[in-house]
């Protein structure tokens, strides 16, 4: 089988060959090429030592010399070139105590996590598949190279990687690999939050985010996200629901667009429900105030995962507002206030989660809920069309105007602007300079 390699990759392999070294494209790019998917990046493995690689190419970066990795720069593109290596003992379930370089490709492939990730390719040799990677690709199986028990003992992150690849590729995890994953899951507590977040994010934005349930079954979430286990164990005895909180959450994750923000918002939108649950005397469950609790919990969880601040901010917004429109009378005024508090820029995300949320509910009074949502959309569109003020910067007066009317510089200015916004949200026609000045004069 031939794989179409980018020109730069052929060039790097060719230059290494000219100096008498072996070199191959390896890992994810070989796997994805065989599957007809577009590789994220092209990694190269070689018999040359980092020092030898640096001598051959004009522009290189020392990415991880102790692990044998040099980045070769071609135009503005970087390619990781890593020396064949054998990983030493893993005493911390995370990374090898030491790595040694080797001139044997087979030894390098042996240290890799899964058979489908342990294949190498160059145009001369073709595919090197020593551990049954092609067969596992054909059968849709994630299987460790070698003894899964040892492989997960070495690096517990591989447990999450197994489920992540299953989710990206729509594969299943081989039973021996699964069994070992469940056994070693507790060791994930020793893996850094950053590495865990990377794998969880890749799983969530994949085509099969429902595999998060595999993470639950394997005991992974009980270590990295015990709050999720609580959702899986919380029934919802309510005519509006047909799933427990966990299965409902999985439905919502599947039904929002596959972006990081939306998938985390879906994962966390009901995370506060277990602790908000009350049961009335008819036996019906209620979850009053759960959106607010979910927002607080989302913040804590995402910080724990070392998530970037922009994502945390956006997820919190969506979680906080996902339940708006579920009860109470919706008027144009209430939608205006909602848009002002939430930020109109989140309205699209609000609709995304709302629609997905409904898909994860029962049909009970569904038409009614859909009608409420279409009213919200109609009011939103009118508000935008009319250009109603939604924030202080939309007001017809600014801080300077207010000070010119005798309000002293300081917190009073901001308070006055907030008060004016409140009035204008109630009655948009007040947003004219003279009318607002009259209000200030009357204070």
Residue 33 binds to Mg ion (criterion: CB under 5 A) = no
* C-alpha torsion angle, residues 93, 94, 99, 103 (rounded to 10): 90
Give yes or no for residue 83 binding ligand ATP (CB under 6 A). no
Q: Taking CB under 6 A as the rule, does residue 80 contact ligand ATP?
A: no
Output 131 or 287, the one with its CB closest to ligand ATP. Answer: 131
Run of H or E residues at 169: helix 157-169
Measured between alpha carbons, how far is 432 from 286 in angstroms, rounded to an integer?
44
Spatial separation of the C-alpha atoms in residues 255 and 248, rounded to whole Å: 11
Contact flag: residue 157 with ligand ATP (CB under 6 A): yes
CB 150, min distance to ligand ATP, A: 12
Structure tokens at 52: 């030898």
For residue 394, the number of C-alpha atoms closer than 13 Å in the C-beta half-sphere is 19
When the beta carbons of 37 and 59 are compared against Mg ion, the nearer one is: 37
Determine, following the binding rule CB under 6 A, whether residue 28 of this chain makes contact with ligand ATP: yes
312: part of which helix (H) or strand (E)?
Answer: helix 309-321
The smaller minimum CB distance to ligand ATP, of residues 144 and 402, is found at 144
Which phi and psi angles does 153 have, rounded to 5°? -65, -40
Q: What Å distances lie between residue 66 and 26, 58, 81, CA to CA?
A: 19, 20, 13
Tokens describing residue 204:
């969530």
How crowded is residue 257: how many other Cβ atoms within 10 Å of its Cβ? 13
Stretch that binds Mg ion, among 23-31, 45-53, 229-237, 430-438 (CB under 5 A): 23-31
Q: Per rule CB under 6 A, is residue 177 in the interface with ligand ATP?
A: no
Bridge partners (DSSP) of residue 82 are 45, 69
Q: Does 28 bind Mg ion (CB under 5 A)?
A: yes
In this structure, are strands 43-46 and 77-83 parallel, antiparallel, or unpaired? Answer: parallel
Q: Which two tokens stand for residue 301?
A: 């969880």
Is residue 113 close enough to count as binding ligand ATP by CB under 6 A? yes
Based on the shown chain and the rule CB under 6 A, indicate whether residue 158 belongs to the binding site for ligand ATP.
yes
Q: Which of residues 391-420 bind Mg ion (CB under 5 A)?
A: none
Residue 112 touches which of Mg ion, ligand ATP, none (Cβ within 5-8 Å per kind)? ligand ATP
**Over the range 359-370, which residues count as b (16 or more CB within 10 Å of their CB) and which as e?**
ebbeeeeeeebe
Q: Please state the closest distance from residue 206 (CB atom) to ligand ATP, in A.
A: 10
Task: Give the list of residues 6+ apart from residue 346 with CB closer than 8 angstroms, or none.
Answer: 314, 317, 318, 321
| Segment interacting with ligand ATP (CB under 6 A) among 44-52, 151-159, 281-289, 351-359 | 151-159
How far is it, in rounded angstroms, from Cα 327 to Cα 347? Answer: 18
The C-alpha atoms of residue 188 and residue 194 are separated, in whole angstroms, by: 12
Which stretch in 37-45, 170-178, 209-217, 376-384 sits in contact with Mg ion by CB under 5 A?
A: 37-45
Cα 106 to Cα 101: distance, rounded to the nearest angstrom: 12
Q: With CB under 5 A, what is the number of residues at the site for Mg ion?
A: 3
Among 9, 16, 21, 43, binds ligand ATP (CB under 6 A): 43
Give the residue with the Cβ less far from Mg ion, 40 or 434: 40
Smallest gap, in angstroms, from Cβ of residue 173 to ligand ATP? 15
**Quick check: 42 binds Mg ion (CB under 5 A)?**
no
Which of Mg ion, ligand ATP, none does residue 113 bind to, with CB < 5 to 8 Å depending on kind?
A: ligand ATP
CA dist list (Å): 331 to 328, 336, 376: 9, 9, 8
Residue 187 in contact with ligand ATP, rule: CB under 6 A: no
Q: List beta partners, residue 43.
A: 26
Cβ nearer to Mg ion, comparing 27 with 274: 27
> Could you say whether residue 133 binds Mg ion (CB under 5 A)?
no
Segment near Mg ion (CB under 5 A); pick from 13-21, 36-44, 169-177, 392-400: 36-44
User: Which of Mg ion, ligand ATP, none does residue 138 bind to, with CB < 5 to 8 Å depending on kind?
Assistant: none
> Any contact of residue 325 with Mg ion (CB under 5 A)?
no
Alpha helix positions (H), 205-259: 212-217, 221-224, 226-232, 245-255
Q: Which is nearer to ligand ATP, 158 or 322 (CB)?
A: 158
Span interacting with ligand ATP, options 59-67, 152-160, 331-339, 396-404, rule CB under 6 A: 152-160
Tell me the window of 39-47, 225-233, 286-294, 421-429 that interacts with Mg ion (CB under 5 A): 39-47
CB under 6 A: which stretch of 11-19, 61-69, 153-161, 330-338 binds ligand ATP?
A: 153-161
DSSP-based three-state secondary structure for 112: coil
- Distance in angstroms between the alpha carbons of the first and the last residue of the chain: 81
Asked if 387 contacts 286 with a C-beta cutoff of 8 angstroms, the reply is no
Which range touches Mg ion (CB under 5 A), out of 26-34, 291-299, 333-341, 435-443?
Answer: 26-34
Q: Which residues are near Mg ion by CB under 5 A?
A: 28, 40-41
Q: Which residues are near ligand ATP by CB under 6 A?
A: 27-28, 40, 43, 112-113, 117-118, 155, 157-158
């Amino acid at each position: 089988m031939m794989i179409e390699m980018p020109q730069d990759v052929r060039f790097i392999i060719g230059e290494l060959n000219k100096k008498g070294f072996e070199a191959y494209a390896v890992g994810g790019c070989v796997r994805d090429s065989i599957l007809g998917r577009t590789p994220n990046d092209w990694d190269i493995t070689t018999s040359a030592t980092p020092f030898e690689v640096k001598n051959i190419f004009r522009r290189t970066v020392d990415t991880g010399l102790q692990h044998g990795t040099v980045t070769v720069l071609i135009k503005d593109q970087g390619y990781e070139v890593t020396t064949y290596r054998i990983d030493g003992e893993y005493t911390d379930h995370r990374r090898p105590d030491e790595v040694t370089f080797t001139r044997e490709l087979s030894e390098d492939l042996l240290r890799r996590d899964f058979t489908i990730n342990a294949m190498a390719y160059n145009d001369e040799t073709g595919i090197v598949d020593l551990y049954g990677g092609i067969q596992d690709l054909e059968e849709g199986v994630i299987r460790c190279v070698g003894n899964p028990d040892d492989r997960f003992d070495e690096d517990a992150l591989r447990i999450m990687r197994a489920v992540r690849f299953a989710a990206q590729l729509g594969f299943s995890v081989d039973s021996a690999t699964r069994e070992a994953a469940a056994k070693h899951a507790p060791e994930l507590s020793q893996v850094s939050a950053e590495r865990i977040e990377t794998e969880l994010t890749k799983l969530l934005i994949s085509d099969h985010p429902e595999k998060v349930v595999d993470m639950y079954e394997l005991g992974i979430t009980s270590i990295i996200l015990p709050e999720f286990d609580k959702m899986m164990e919380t029934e919802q005895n309510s005519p509006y629901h047909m799933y427990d909180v966990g299965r409902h959450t999985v439905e919502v994750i599947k039904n929002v667009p596959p972006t990081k923000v939306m998938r985390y918002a879906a994962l966390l939108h009901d995370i506060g429900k277990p602790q908000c649950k009350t049961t009335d005397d008819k036996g019906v469950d209620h979850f009053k105030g759960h959106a607010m609790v979910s927002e607080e919990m989302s913040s804590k969880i995402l910080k724990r995962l070392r998530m970037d601040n922009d994502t945390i901010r956006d997820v919190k917004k969506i979680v906080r507002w996902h339940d708006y429109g579920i009860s109470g009378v919706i008027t144009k005024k209430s939608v205006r206030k909602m848009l002002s508090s939430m930020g109109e820029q989140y309205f699209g995300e609000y609709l995304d989660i709302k629609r997905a949320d409904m898909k994860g509910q029962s049909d009970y009074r569904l038409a009614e809920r859909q009608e409420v949502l279409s009213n919200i959309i109609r009011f939103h569109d009118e508000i935008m069309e009319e250009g109603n003020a939604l924030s202080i910067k939309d007001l017809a007066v600014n801080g300077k105007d207010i000070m010119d009317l005798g309000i002293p510089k300081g917190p009073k200015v901001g308070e006055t602007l907030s008060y004016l916004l409140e009035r204008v949200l109630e009655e948009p026609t007040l947003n004219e300079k003279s009318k607002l000045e009259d209000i200030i004069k009357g204070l």
